[in-house]
């Protein structure tokens, strides 16, 4: 395979799957800016591993795994815990974005979940991965996936239940 063929195949894959992968990154991160950063990291790593992964047909699984791991890494960074706004009291608040499909009641409830529960629910129920596949992508035991998924689904049901139910 020539470098030109490699670049063309990679570009075709990204063009076809980028919006879907961006929505996955957003579902995992809960923030569009972080989702874009995480997706960029994942696509960069995919490009490096493209010949090996494309030959085996594992491109999308690899990108999903990198998205999840990059989000986990970002949460572990020490400077993130100390992050503060640059000009406290001087920055004007940004306008609320207009409601869009991704901002539905379900998605808002999903974003309210703790990060690990959100990741488990997204991988298991939105992407339809098995418990074992989810455990492999998160780097945890299957029992951990089951407990986080169970708690996440219960929290979503409670958040979305009609009042008085």
State the CATH number of the domain containing residue 165.
Answer: 1.10.10.10
Share of the chain above pLDDT 70, in %: 81
Average pLDDT over residues 59-79: 83
73 and 1: one domain? yes
Residue with tokens 């020490």: 78
Per the CB < 8 A criterion, the answer to whether 123 and 68 are in contact is yes
Per the CB < 8 A criterion, the answer to whether 102 and 35 are in contact is no
- Distance from C-alpha of 127 to C-alpha of 104, rounded to nearest angstrom: 18
CA dihedral 94, 90, 81, 72 (to 10 degrees): 20
| Residue 89 placed within a domain | no
At residue 161 the predicted structure's pLDDT band, cuts being 50, 70 and 90, is confident
Domain that holds residue 119: 102-165
How many structural domains are present in the chain? 2
pLDDT tens profile 116-147: 999 999 999 888 899 999 999 899 999 999 99
Q: What's the token pair of residue 109?
A: 């409830």
| Last residue in a domain, options 35, 61, 77 | 77
64 and 111: one domain? no
Q: What is the pTM of this model?
A: 0.59
- Distance from C-alpha of 135 to C-alpha of 12, rounded to nearest angstrom: 29
Of 7-16, 43-52, 63-72, 101-110, which range is least confident? 101-110
């Amino acid at each position: 395979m020539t470098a030109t063929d490699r670049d063309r195949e990679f570009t075709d894959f990204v063009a076809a799957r980028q919006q879907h992968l961006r929505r996955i990154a957003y579902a995992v991160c809960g923030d569009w800016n972080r989702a874009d950063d995480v997706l960029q990291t994942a696509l960069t790593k995919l490009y490096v591993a493209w010949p090996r992964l494309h030959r085996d047909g594992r491109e999308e699984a690899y990108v999903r795994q990198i998205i999840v791991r990059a989000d986990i890494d970002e949460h572990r960074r020490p400077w993130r815990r100390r992050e503060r706004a640059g000009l406290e009291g001087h920055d004007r608040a940004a306008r609320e974005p207009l409601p869009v499909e991704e901002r539905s009641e379900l998605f808002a409830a999903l974003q309210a979940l703790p990060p690990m529960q959100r990741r488990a629910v997204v991988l298991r129920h939105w992407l339809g991965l098995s418990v074992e596949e989810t455990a492999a992508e998160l780097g945890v035991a299957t029992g951990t996936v089951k407990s986080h998924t169970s708690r996440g689904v219960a929290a979503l049901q409670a958040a979305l239940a009609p009042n008085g139910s």
